[in-house]
Each structure stands twice: as C-alpha cells, then as structure tokens.
Structure 1
C-alpha cells in the first residue's frame, strides 16, 4: 500500500505542473484548445504504449463496457481545457484551489454513496470535519 500512496502523491504533484505547462503552451501558441489537443495526443500515445505492454487483451472488452463509463474522457477533456484556458488569467494556484475543492466535494459524495462501484465510505462527522479542514487549508494557502 505505501507504493500506492507514493504514486497518488506523485499524480497530485503532477496536476499543477500539468496545468502550468499546458497553460504556458496555450499562451505561447495562442490557443488553449490546441495546447489541450497536443496534451491529449501525447497522453494517448503514452497510455496506448503502457496498455499494449501491460494488458493488450483488455482492449477486446471495450465493446461490451457500459457507455456511461466513457464519460470520464469528456470530464478529463473539460478539466484540461478549462485549466489551460483559466490558469493564465487566474493563476495556477487559484485555479487548482477550486479544482481541489471540487475534488473534495465530489470524492466525498462518490465515497458516501458508493457511486460508480466505488467502495462505500459513509460521510461521518469526523470525515466531514477533515474534509472541511482540508478545504480551509487550501483556502488559507491561496489567501497569502
């Protein structure tokens, strides 16, 4: 389990870096949409290589997958397009603040109701207080 924590911590570290790099590319070329497209082309290539190496047989199961599960692709496109467009004017820190706040709210709801086959973890008062404390901490870091 400790390696899972390190992987997710690394993913978290990468999100603001992704936002800053893609926002800078969007400014440099004059198009956040083109910058987002480039990001997806590179991400697709990397993911496809990893998929082909680690689990090529899984591709055959895609045709039978519930269609609503593909909404994740639209959500990541929305995130990348919005952060690439907004971060240059709002600042990466402020933009990521609202992303983190949204993630806290969404994660709590998904866990509480066990949505999308997630492990159900009820939202206790202790957990709600912890989420509120995290949100307050994120807010305080952006007030400086």
Structure 2
C-alpha cells in the first residue's frame, strides 16, 4: 500500500507543476487552448509509449464493450487542463489548485460514500466528514494568509 501512497504523492506534486508550466506556455504563445493541445499531444505520446512497454496494444481490444459513460473521464481531464491553463495566470497557481482541492474533497467523499463508478464503498461517517472539513478549512486558511 505504501507504494500507492508514494505514486499518488508524486502525482499530487505534479499537478501544480503541470498547472504552472502549461499556464506559462499558454501565456507565452497567447493561447491557453493551444497550450492544452500541446500538453495532450505530449501526454498522448507518453501514454502510447507506456502502453506498448507495459501491456501492449491488446489492452485496447476490450474498449468496444466498455460503457460509454466511462469515456467522460477524457472530457473531465480536458476541462481541468484547459481551465487551469486559462485561470492560473489570472488567479494564481496556488489559488487555482487550492480550489481544485476543495472540489476533489467534495467529489471524492461522494464517490466513496456511494461507491459511484465502481469505487470501493467507504461511508461518510461523522469522523470522516470532520476530517474532510478540517482539510477544507486548512485549504481555506492558506487563502487568508
């Protein structure tokens, strides 16, 4: 389990870096949308390379039978990247990411509580809600400083 935590910690470290780099690219070239396209092109290339190195293209053979709503994840990642690329230069990377964190806390609690999208059910107990509230308060406090 520790390696999962470390992977996600690294992903968490990467999110504000991604936001800052892509926002800077969007500002430099004058188009947050074009910066998003570049980001997705690089991400696509890296994903294809990893696909071939780790599992091979046969992993794509089951896509036809996948429920169509699962593909909405692509729209959500596009919305995240394009919105943070546009917003961060005007609002600040920290402010943008902190509000993303609040949204993640809320949606993660709902997904876990109801086991949405096949997620493991983890009921929202009073203790868990208090912990999420404390985390949200911590994020809010960073905005006041």
Q: What's the TM-score once normalised by structure 2's chain length?
A: 0.98
Where has structure 1 moved over 6 Å in runs of 4 or more? none
State the Cα deviation string for residues 3-36 of structure 1 (Å, max 9, x = none): 1111000000000000000000000000000000
CA RMSD in angstroms comes to 0.6
Map of 1:78 onto structure 2: 79
SS at structure 2 position matched to 1:95: helix
Q: Return the offset for 1:143.
A: 1.5
Map of 1:5 onto structure 2: 5
Map of 2:27 onto structure 1: 27
Map of 2:39 onto structure 1: 39
* Structure 1, unpaired ranges of 5+: none
Query: Counterparts of 2:44 and 2:5 in 1: how far apart (Å)?
Result: 24
State the Cα deviation string for residues 62-119 of structure 1 (Å, max 9, x = none): 1111111000000000000000000000000000011000000000000000000000
Map of 2:127 onto structure 1: 126
Q: Return the offset for 1:52.
A: 1.3
Map of 1:113 onto structure 2: 114
Query: Counterparts of 2:27 and 2:144 in 1: how far apart (Å)?
Result: 26
Map of 2:96 onto structure 1: 95
Query: Counterparts of 2:130 and 2:17 in 1: how far apart (Å)?
Result: 29
Query: Counterparts of 1:141 and 1:7 in 2: how far apart (Å)?
Result: 25
SS at structure 2 position matched to 1:122: coil
Query: Counterparts of 2:94 and 2:76 in 1: how far apart (Å)?
Result: 21
Q: What's the TM-score once normalised by structure 1's chain length?
A: 0.98
